[in-house]
């Protein structure tokens, strides 16, 4: 399998090259040259496969010859080694819980797959890879944890002091010896600016083999399809295909869902659930993609003004606007509705949504009002305990700590405090 750049000006790349470089050299995103057709979906055995077996069948065509089958098998088994249950919330709406991974976030799947691929492709190299990440709390934890204990790779993670929740901070600071947490006395934007500058710093490039572990990387994007295949194993074979509602920011996850349908998985209509950052809802309604700047919301992992993966969706739809509208709807949900939805769903159904899934649930309700015969799956992309203030303010009750994170409180937590300036960061990097 080869990958072309959506900008059309870069040479074709193998999966290994695309995974190692992230973005194509012409600034585009890598996209598979031909899409597999999963003919095994037409028989029924796949419903009984383990998640690891299913993952291997889905991923093998994309990874191709760049890795021995046995290696890919081991990586797949490591990637989906936690449950992905489909849980009914209310009549017509089910939650696909993607928060049972090590950092309670759906990004665990992509991060685990990518980290193990990079480690394999870099095997035998003298120089180890140094992954630099800035995080506002949710995203970086999955990346840091994905690489934790992976040989030949170290992670340096910058997070803003006092601006991440207690569970998030523990997830960032208890990962083990190859993950270094820097607690920066500044904002997330400061952290991100420092990481950006590091990638253009010749002095650092000389000493380190820097990698961004960017969310557009094919090795993070493609394994996200697995949620949908695993969900459909739990869906009654003779029921109508579900409407799939995805809380969306960069649109990588929903694009993976659409790819899964394109390659044979029987999914229904897609609903992109956005917060006040409504670039795509506006585009679908008007046909124009307007320049916007991100606004801060309660569902902050989706505060994205220019969703980078949308170009992959256009590619998947072969730039046919009518087909795009046939497959995809999008809604913008306000913070007020997000809080109201958390409170109401908890009160009426006893189900605790996180702010991102609350955006999804509200969007599902809007879609189902117009299509009452349909059934929707809403992706629960993070555990509510990662956003305890927002959720507790909505329900009036503290968020109970899940058993799976209680052990974090017993682990030694380590972070290096630094001023949020590039000079302080550079000096630390050069002296360590």
Residue by residue, DSSP assigns 7-48 as TS-S--EEHHHHHHHSS-TTS--EEESS----GGGGSSGGGG
SS3 category, 184: strand
Query: What count of Cα atoms within 13 Å lies in the side-chain half-sphere of residue 243?
Result: 26
Contact region with ligand PLP (CB under 6 A), list: 22-30, 116-124, 244-252, 310-318: 244-252
Q: Within 161-222, where are the H helices?
A: 166-173, 188-198, 202-207, 218-221
CA dist 252 and 62 (Å) reads 16
| Count of CB atoms situated within 10 Å of the CB of 140 | 27
CB 111 within 8 A of CB 143: yes
Contact region with ligand PLP (CB under 6 A), list: 122-130, 167-175, 225-233, 248-256: 248-256
Please state the closest distance from residue 355 (CB atom) to ligand PLP, in A: 8
SS3 category, 331: strand
Query: What count of Cα atoms within 13 Å lies in the side-chain half-sphere of residue 351?
Result: 20
SS3 category, 131: strand
Size of the site for ligand PLP (CB under 6 A): 16
Please state the closest distance from residue 79 (CB atom) to ligand PLP, in A: 17
Contact region with ligand PLP (CB under 6 A), list: 235-243, 249-257, 281-289, 395-403: 249-257
Single out the residue of 265, 276, 302, 418 in contact with ligand PLP (rule: CB under 6 A).
302
* Residue with smaller CB distance to ligand PLP, 251 or 331: 251
168 touches ligand PLP by CB under 6 A: no
* Residue with smaller CB distance to ligand PLP, 215 or 375: 215
Single out the residue of 19, 105, 117, 429 in contact with ligand PLP (rule: CB under 6 A).
105
Contact region with ligand PLP (CB under 6 A), list: 191-199, 243-251, 276-284, 415-423: 243-251
What tokens were used for 349? 């159904």
* Residue with smaller CB distance to ligand PLP, 122 or 297: 297
| Separate counts of helices (H) and strands (E) for the chain | 19, 14
CB 118 within 8 A of CB 111: no
Instruction: Single out the catalytic residue among 107, 196, 370, 386.
Output: 107
Please state the closest distance from residue 370 (CB atom) to ligand PLP, in A: 23
Closest to 312 in 3D by CA, of 60, 7, 57, 26: 7
Single out the residue of 164, 356, 362, 383 in contact with ligand PLP (rule: CB under 6 A).
356
Single out the residue of 155, 301, 316, 418 in contact with ligand PLP (rule: CB under 6 A).
301
157 touches ligand PLP by CB under 6 A: no
Single out the residue of 178, 250, 279, 337 in contact with ligand PLP (rule: CB under 6 A).
250
* Residue with smaller CB distance to ligand PLP, 182 or 382: 382
110 touches ligand PLP by CB under 6 A: no
CA dist 250 and 349 (Å) reads 30
Please state the closest distance from residue 68 (CB atom) to ligand PLP, in A: 30
Give the x/- contact pattern for ligand PLP in 202-231, rule: CB under 6 A: ------------------------------
Check if 386 is active-site. no
CB 61 within 8 A of CB 34: no
Phi/psi at 426 (5° precision): -60, -45
Single out the residue of 101, 223, 252, 388 in contact with ligand PLP (rule: CB under 6 A).
252
Active site members: 107
Q: Give the residues lining the site for ligand PLP (CB under 6 A).
A: 105, 107, 138-139, 247-253, 301-302, 356, 381-382
């Amino acid at each position: 399998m080869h990958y072309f750049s959506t900008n059309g000006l870069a040479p074709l790349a193998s999966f290994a090259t695309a995974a190692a470089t992230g973005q194509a050299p012409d600034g585009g995103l890598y996209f598979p040259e031909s899409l597999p057709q999963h003919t095994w979906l037409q028989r029924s055995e796949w419903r009984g496969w383990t998640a690891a077996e299913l993952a291997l069948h889905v991923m093998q065509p994309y990874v191709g010859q760049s890795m021995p089958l046995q290696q890919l098998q081991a990586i797949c088994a490591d990637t989906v080694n936690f449950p992905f249950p489909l849980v009914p919330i209310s009549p017509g709406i089910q939650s696909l819980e993607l928060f049972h991974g090590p950092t309670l976030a759906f990004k665990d799947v992509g991060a685990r797959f990518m980290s193990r691929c990079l480690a394999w492709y870099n095997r035998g190299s003298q120089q180890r890879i140094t992954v630099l990440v800035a995080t506002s709390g949710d995203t970086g934890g999955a990346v840091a944890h994905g690489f934790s204990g992976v040989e030949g790779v170290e992670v340096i993670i910058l997070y803003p002091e006092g601006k991440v929740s207690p569970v998030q901070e523990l997830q960032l600071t208890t990962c083990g010896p190859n993950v270094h947490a820097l607690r920066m006395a500044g904002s997330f934007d400061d952290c991100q600016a420092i990481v950006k500058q590091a990638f253009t710093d010749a002095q650092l490039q000389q000493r380190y083999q820097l990698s961004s572990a960017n969310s557009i990387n094919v090795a993070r994007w493609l394994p996200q399809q697995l949620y949908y295949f695993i969900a459909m194993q739990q869906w009654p074979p003779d029921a109508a295909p579900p409407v799939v509602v995805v809380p969306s920011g960069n649109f990588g996850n929903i694009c993976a869902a659409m790819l899964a349908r394109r390659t044979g998985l029987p999914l229904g209509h897609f609903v992109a659930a956005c917060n006040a950052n409504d670039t795509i809802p506006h585009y679908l309604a008007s046909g124009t993609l307007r320049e916007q700047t991100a606004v801060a919301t309660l569902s902050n992992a989706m505060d994205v003004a220019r969703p980078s993966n949308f170009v992959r969706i256009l590619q998947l739809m072969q730039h046919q606007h009518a087909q795009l509208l046939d497959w995809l709807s999008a809604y913008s949900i306000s913070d007020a509705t997000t809080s109201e939805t958390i409170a109401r769903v908890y009160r009426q159904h006893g189900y605790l949504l996180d702010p991102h899934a609350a955006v999804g649930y509200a969007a599902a309700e809007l879609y189902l009002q117009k299509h009452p015969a349909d059934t929707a799956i809403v992706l629960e992309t993070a555990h509510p305990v990662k956003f305890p203030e927002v959720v507790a303010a909505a329900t009036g009750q503290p968020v109970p700590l899940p058993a799976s994170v209680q052990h974090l409180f017993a682990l030694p937590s380590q972070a290096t405090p630094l001023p949020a300036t590039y000079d302080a960061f550079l000096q630390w990097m050069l002296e360590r």
